[in-house]
Chain A
Amino acid sequence: EAAVTQSPRNKVTVTGGNVTLSCRQTNSHNYMYWYRQDTGHGLRLIHYSYGAGNLQIGDVPDGYKATRTTQEDFFLLLELASPSQTSLYFCASSDLGQSSYEQYFGPGTRLTVL
């Protein structure tokens, strides 16, 4: 079964702080995604990537950068964190080669910006 891990699982920072969320998948999937989840909004796509060095903009990219360093690793960067970025962040991966394109999600990172 696909495995997606995220770190840290919880993070507290202050306004203006610099935060990096990490995601690793060990199933050689092409696509990786970053979502945020807030009450009343479901999951919203921030950024995604279809391979190392590639980055695509999602639906809510403002205030976020991302980098895909390898096929396995995808990072989400908040360089000047704001309270509005307090949220639950999920990473996911999927394989372009499979017919179902189902996404496999990590356990999430809860970020609090004070």
Chain B
Amino acid sequence: LAKTTQPPSMEAYEGQEVNVSCSHTNIATSEYIYWYRQVPHQGPQFIIQGYKDYVVNEVASLFISADRKLSTLSLPWVSLRDAAVYYCIVTDLGTGGYKVVFGSGTRLLVSP
């Protein structure tokens, strides 16, 4: 499984757009990119997944570089509720998606 590298922390103000980057230089052709977030006292929650190009859902958007070595999670207009640890994960769906390795994530601090 490809190892991921994320900044340990980021800060933002409410209403700002936040972009969280993730490097996965050794990503394999069979691996997909997932993003989860975790707020205190809760388990991680799925945000978005993608393989290449650009993916958007009602919560976030995900941009994946052409070589797939870098992905960026974009959160529009963050609020205090978006303060969480954000995890970037790559996993091989050919194995049923079970092999998920969570790193240390990026802690997003949001100020009023």
Nearest CB in chain B: distance from A60 CB, A: 11
- State A41–B101 Cα separation when bound (angstroms): 10
- State A50–B99 Cα separation when bound (angstroms): 12
Contact across chains for A50 and B98 when beta carbons are under 8 A apart: yes
Contact across chains for B42 and A43 when beta carbons are under 8 A apart: no
Contact across chains for A100 and B49 when beta carbons are under 8 A apart: yes
- State A5–B10 Cα separation when bound (angstroms): 31
| Known interface pairs A92-B43, A107-B43; A101-B96 also in contact (CB < 8 Å) | yes
Contact across chains for B34 and A102 when beta carbons are under 8 A apart: yes
A74 within 8 A of B: no
A90-114 Cβ-contact flags toward B at 8 Å (1 or 0): 1010101000111111111000000
Contact across chains for A42 and B43 when beta carbons are under 8 A apart: no
- State A54–B55 Cα separation when bound (angstroms): 35
**CB within 8 A of A42: which of B34, B41, B42, B87?**
B87
Within A64-110, the residues touching B (CB, 8 Å) are: 90, 92, 94, 96, 100-108
B27-44 Cβ-contact flags toward A at 8 Å (1 or 0): 000000010100001111
